[in-house]
Amino acid sequence: MRPFQRLAIDKNQRTIKSTSMTARSIATNIEIESPQDKLLGRLCSILSDYLDQSQINEVIRAYEYSAEAHVGQLRKTGEAYICHPLSVAICLAEMRMDASGIVAAILHDVLEDTLISKKELRNTFGSEVTELVDGVTKLSKIGNKPHAEAHAENVRKMILAMAKDLRVIMVKLADRLHNMQTLGVMPSKKKRRIAKETIDIYVPIANRLGMNDMRHQLQLLGFAALFPMRHRVLQNAIKKIRGNHKELVDTIESAIKNRLLEANLKCNVTGREKNVYSIYQKMLNKRISFSDVADIYAFRICCNDEATCYQVLGAVHNLYNPIPGRFKDYIALPKANGYQSLHTVLVGPYGVPVEIQIRSHKMHQISESGIAAHWLYKADDEKGSSFQDRANEWLRDLLEIQKTVGDPQEFIDNLKIDLYPQDIFVFTPQGNIIKLPRNASIVDFAYAVHTDIGNSCVSARIDKHLVPLQTKLENGMTAQVITAAWARPNPLWLNYVITAKARSGIRNFLKHFKQQEAIDLGKRLLEKELQDFGLSVDEIPEPRLLELLTLLGMESMDELLEDIGLGNKMPFLIAKRISQEDIQATVKLEDKDENKKTPLIIKGTEGMVITLAKCCHPIPGDSIIGYFNPGRGIVVHHHECRNSKESRSKKTNWLDVEWSPEITGEYPAEIQVELLNRQGALATIISTISSMDSNIENVQVIAQDDSVCVDLIVLSAKDRVHLANIMRKLKKLSIVLKLTRIKA
């Protein structure tokens, strides 16, 4: 190993490891000669509060090892590279991370940025520290992949390591925090990219793990780097109004304290200033000005226990009137990250809104540290355990997702979906609570209960009433999923599921069953065509089948059926070839037939009879489904058509279909027009439709009185956009009272 500067303590002692002095005395007696010496002294001072001397000596040994490995390396700031690992270790030491975690923090870049191998590191510091370091280390062999793909691969690696040991993400978050604190020397483009990654990935992870203090620091640093001008303007605006606010804040704070004293409730009351990023997000999301956000005053009340929190809530509601709909009880129903508090908004003096957060001291400690509380407050095992259980549950879900996702970018997309929840609480019939993101559907709920339940769900009951699977859930509902043994996931579910677990579960099932589904469909389509020739798939003579497969360049019958099911081969042409004694003689003739084929209505249905359902009149651009009817071919319905629900409930015959991109022509669509019953009104409607390059196929008067007439009109439309333009033109007519499209 190369020589490097050691810390001199005594003339007769060459290393720190051999001394018996305490870490605190080291910190005060070392002659400070460099920034890294100062940082090591500060680290040892913090560690001496909760680690014993042997553990601190191990940390110092890790520092010496890392300093030698990184010797000669400098950061963009110009300081020695070892200053970065030390700063990361100090951040973790302030959270009272254990000795192995601190050692891993000091060594976290040696595998990535030095010649030290994983085997050498394991031999020197053991498997526990090595696995932590490896979990934080980026993948080195990513080839020439684009940055987004490489970043996705690295994040997935980190998440998998994090699932094994939560200290991995603690080290990574501290690493990212120090990188953000020293981001100013980076080029502008790289600075923005790192800041965006931080806000998109690391801030939500810190939030999900309940580490609010870390989250706020990363948010502010990321916002300042991503939008420096906005950050500066908002910061200056906050400084200007700070003096004006102080008097009113003091007035409200005194009023709250006096009311609590009258109620004999001992609590700490503090007024808190909203941070720049929080104000920016509120302005952005609610589309309000800075003055509207700045008029909101926020206070935090910390009590001794949970029961006192509710007593305080009653006291402040008796002081100022609460605003209806703005009360949230996160104590009874904690957030996904374990956060607990009572939130309420009151109408304060001069009509200004006053935000109040009420929590116990224990809840406040946990809300700031989250999963870090496992180390910070480990004297009380119960304080950190529940939060670690929540984190482990979330990580188990992520592991299940990653097993079913091959593409790293898809994993990142699923992770982002999971990191931005606005929770609702839905009850099972047994009274268990399931947390879901807002706007979650029955399918999301089914997959949250269990993957097998999601894969086999067909409908559900909400509060004992039958509802379709796309129904959106709301807070407090009781949902019961109805399953069937024959049921399987529908690709259309991907249009309305929003949880990562449901999305990955559906995609995984479809990925594995796509081939078998195509084979089954191909067999049904070929069977139908062979009936006209008095044959069936199972009765095809072996020599004729082998001759056909050889001509088509295929190895098995399943491969042929799959090609038919996927729409690559026309079933009626294959059936005709099979029926011919001389298969080769028909090849040229059929190739000519293929060249003369007309544009398809539905993609992949060459040779099939297509019927557009008259009950809902689907047109190109509509979301559609189809089912195979032996007498009518494939019958296509609008996805919202009530009559299609009967076909969906059947075990077989229903298909996922989509419009062909080459589709041309005009198709019937039905609209209902409610118009004033005036002379010439219908003529005006017909004339307007005609001016939009559309023909009327049928008109039916379904209701009429002296003032209003309701007509059903079937007209021709090229596609959904064409129909929308026609309806938009009709709505502008003064005689039209109401206009709707009939889809069922």
- The pLDDT assigned to 60 comes to 92
Compute the mean pLDDT over every residue in the chain, rounded to the nearest whole number.
Answer: 77
Query: Considering its fold, how many domains does the chain have in total?
Result: 5
- The pLDDT assigned to 309 comes to 92
- The pLDDT assigned to 489 comes to 84
Q: How confident is the model at residue 215 (pLDDT cuts 50, 70, 90)?
A: confident
User: Of 128-132, 302-306, 562-566, which gets the smallest average pLDDT?
Assistant: 562-566
Amino acid at 345: V
**Is residue 185 located within the same domain as residue 70?**
yes
Whether 636 is covered by a domain: the verdict is no
H/E run at residue 676: strand 667-676
**Is residue 489 located within the same domain as residue 547?**
no
Whether 649 is covered by a domain: the verdict is no
Beta-bridge mates of residue 353: 347
532 catalytic residue (yes or no): no
CA–CA dist 69, 125 (Å, integer) = 14
What burial letters (b/e) apply to 716-737, b meaning 16+ CB within 10 Å? bbbbbebbeebbeebeebebbe
* Cβ count within 10 A of residue 71: 16
CA–CA dist 380, 366 (Å, integer) = 12
- The pLDDT assigned to 14 comes to 33
Predicted structure pTM score: 0.50
**Is residue 353 located within the same domain as residue 487?**
no
CB-facing half-sphere around the CA of 145: CA atoms within 13 A = 16
Q: How do residues 363-374 score in pLDDT, each as one tens digit?
A: 887 777 665 554
CATH no. for residue 329? 3.30.460.10
The radius of gyration computed from the CA coordinates of the chain, to the nearest angstrom, equals 34
Of 37, 94, 98, 113, catalytic:
113
**Is residue 81 located within the same domain as residue 173?**
yes
How much is the average pLDDT of 69-75? 88
Whether 295 is covered by a domain: the verdict is yes
User: Do 534 and 483 contact (CB within 8 A), yes or no?
Assistant: no
Domain boundary among 212, 227, 242: 227
112 catalytic residue (yes or no): yes
How much is the average pLDDT of 161-173? 74
Any residues with CB less than 8 A from the CB of 677 and at least 6 apart, and which? 704, 705, 706, 707, 708, 709
Amino acid at 405: V
The helix/strand/coil state of 461 is strand
CATH no. for residue 716? 3.30.70.260
CATH no. for residue 181? 1.10.3210.10
**Is residue 185 located within the same domain as residue 109?**
yes
**Is residue 122 located within the same domain as residue 96?**
yes
User: Do 301 and 269 contact (CB within 8 A), yes or no?
Assistant: yes
User: Do 526 and 574 contact (CB within 8 A), yes or no?
Assistant: yes
Domain boundary among 342, 377, 412: 377
Whether 258 is covered by a domain: the verdict is yes
Whether 115 is covered by a domain: the verdict is yes
**Is residue 461 located within the same domain as residue 526?**
no
Residue 676 phi/psi, 5-degree rounding, is: -65, 135
How much is the average pLDDT of 98-123? 90
- The pLDDT assigned to 651 comes to 43
Q: How do residues 13-56 score in pLDDT, each as one tens digit?
A: 333 333 334 444 444 444 446 888 888 999 999 999 888 899 99
- The DSSP bridge pattern shows strands 342-347 and 321-322 to be antiparallel
What burial letters (b/e) apply to 333-363, b meaning 16+ CB within 10 Å? ebbbbbbbbbebbbebeeeebbbbbbbbebb
**Is residue 102 located within the same domain as residue 214?**
yes
**Is residue 435 located within the same domain as residue 343?**
no
**Looking at per-residue confidence, does 735 or 373 come out higher?**
735
**Looking at per-residue confidence, does 744 or 405 come out higher?**
744
Q: Is the pLDDT of residue 10 over 80?
A: no
**Is residue 436 located within the same domain as residue 486?**
yes
Whether 620 is covered by a domain: the verdict is no
**Looking at per-residue confidence, does 662 or 51 come out higher?**
51
Q: Please give the angle made by the CA atoms of 329, 333 and 336, to the nearest 5 degrees.
A: 120
Q: Is the pLDDT of residue 488 over 70?
A: yes
The helix/strand/coil state of 216 is helix
Domain of 531? Answer: 507-595
- The pLDDT assigned to 512 comes to 66
**Is residue 208 located within the same domain as residue 357?**
no
Q: Is 510 exposed, middle or buried (0-12, 13-18, 19+ CB in 10 A)?
A: middle
- The pLDDT assigned to 221 comes to 92
**Looking at per-residue confidence, does 110 or 238 come out higher?**
110
- The pLDDT assigned to 548 comes to 81
How much is the average pLDDT of 219-234? 90
**Is residue 490 located within the same domain as residue 537?**
no
Candidates 387, 367, 393, 497; CA nearest to 437 is 497
Whether 632 is covered by a domain: the verdict is no
Q: Is the pLDDT of residue 283 over 80?
A: yes
Of 112, 197, 547, 674, catalytic:
112
Q: How confident is the model at residue 105 (pLDDT cuts 50, 70, 90)?
A: very high
CA–CA dist 574, 607 (Å, integer) = 10
The helix/strand/coil state of 346 is strand
- The pLDDT assigned to 644 comes to 65
Whether 4 is covered by a domain: the verdict is no
Residue 263 phi/psi, 5-degree rounding, is: -85, 5
Q: How confident is the model at residue 12 (pLDDT cuts 50, 70, 90)?
A: very low
Rounded to whole angstroms, the maximal C-alpha distance in the chain is: 114
Q: Is the pLDDT of residue 614 over 80?
A: yes
Q: Is the pLDDT of residue 381 over 70?
A: no
- The pLDDT assigned to 627 comes to 73
